[in-house]
Structures are given as structure tokens and as C-alpha cells.
Amino acid sequence: MPNLLLASSNQGKLEEFRALATGTGVTLELQPGFDGLPAFDESAPTLAENAAGKALHYSRGAPGLVFADDSGLVVPALGGAPGVRSSRYAGPEGDAARNIEKLLAALAGKTGEERLARFVCVLALAREGRMLGVWSDAVAGRILDSARGAWGFGYDPVFFYEPLGKAFAELPREEKNRLSHRGRAFRKLLKFLETFPG
């Protein structure tokens, strides 16, 4: 199985993907010198365009396979917001607590189906400026009135997963990885790699 370079300098994100790849034979590393590369402008209107654009951008001149992700929370009652702006919903600094505060304020007074939401993840894989594939998946839930749990990150404390009766932030990492949008999308990428000619 090949080595994958993650188009990011986020060690936490790398560890999450490594956990998902455990036992597959795939090795993952952060792209060397990522912070010194010209930045990709993540201003596309969709998660798929951002993920694909990042993978193509950072794979040019990189050794081997480069993958990128873009993820977001979609709330239909808010017209799909936060969506592609999930990490910057309350401002460009990407503060999770402020993002949650703004989300809960936007949903104040809304009940039932108005609080339905889904997490979406799109992964893109490229090599030397050529796109090899794009995969996406989602997980459905609803937005709680207040935060719960001590694990996870982003909107996990207010994202309630009905089948388990828990917020994502109440799930141990292994359980969340099994269920999450990112885990589901990454398993599709791994399946592609099983037959990838190299």
C-alpha cells in the first residue's frame, strides 16, 4: 500500500487519519514544508471544489500521492449554513466556541426537523497536478440546545447522533471514527488504493 501525504500542517488531523488507516498498510505523513508553500485560496462555493483544488494545488511538485479534505456542517433550516464556511462561521480566526455560539443563536426557537443537520466530508487524491479521485460521505444528526461531552472538536459538542443517543463529543475517538463522515469518506479512499496500480 502506498504512502500518502496530507496537504496540511495540522498534526491533529494527521493523527485522526492515521487512526483510520490502522492495519491497512497505508502510511501517512504531513506534506513536507507545507507551511512554506504558496497557500491555496479556499474560497470555492462547495466542499468538493475546495478539496479538489487543494489536492491539485499541493500535489504539483510533491513526491507521490497527496490528499486533501474539506469538511463542514450543513443545517438545511439555515439554508445549508455553516456549510463551506464551517470553520470560519463566526469569523476568519476559526474559533470553535464562537462558531457554536453563533450556530445556537441562529437556531434559537427552532425545534424538531428545523434542527436536523449533517456532517459532510469530501476527500480528494492527486499526483503531480493530476486528479485521481474524489470521495464524499455524510452522517446525519441534529443540533442540541447546548454543548455536551469533552471529546472531539469543532461542532462535535452540539451534534447529536440519534442511533447512540449521544453527541459526537461524548464518543471515544475509535467509536466516532467508525461512524463519522470523515471515517466513511476515508474508507472509500482506502478501498480505491487497494486496486491502485501505483
Q: Is 35 designated active site?
A: no
Q: Return the C-alpha cell found at 112.
A: 424538531
Catalytic residue among 41, 69, 70, 95: 70
Going by C-alpha positions, the residue among 138, 78, 84, 79 that lies closest to residue 103 is 78
Beta strand pairing status for 3-6 and 27-30? parallel
Going by C-alpha positions, the residue among 149, 154, 184, 153 that lies closest to residue 164 is 149
Beta strand pairing status for 27-30 and 130-143? unpaired
How distant, in Å, are the alpha carbons of 61, 186, 193 from that of 183? 28, 5, 15
Q: How many Å apart are CA 29 and CA 7, to the nearest integer?
A: 9
Active-site annotation, residues: 70
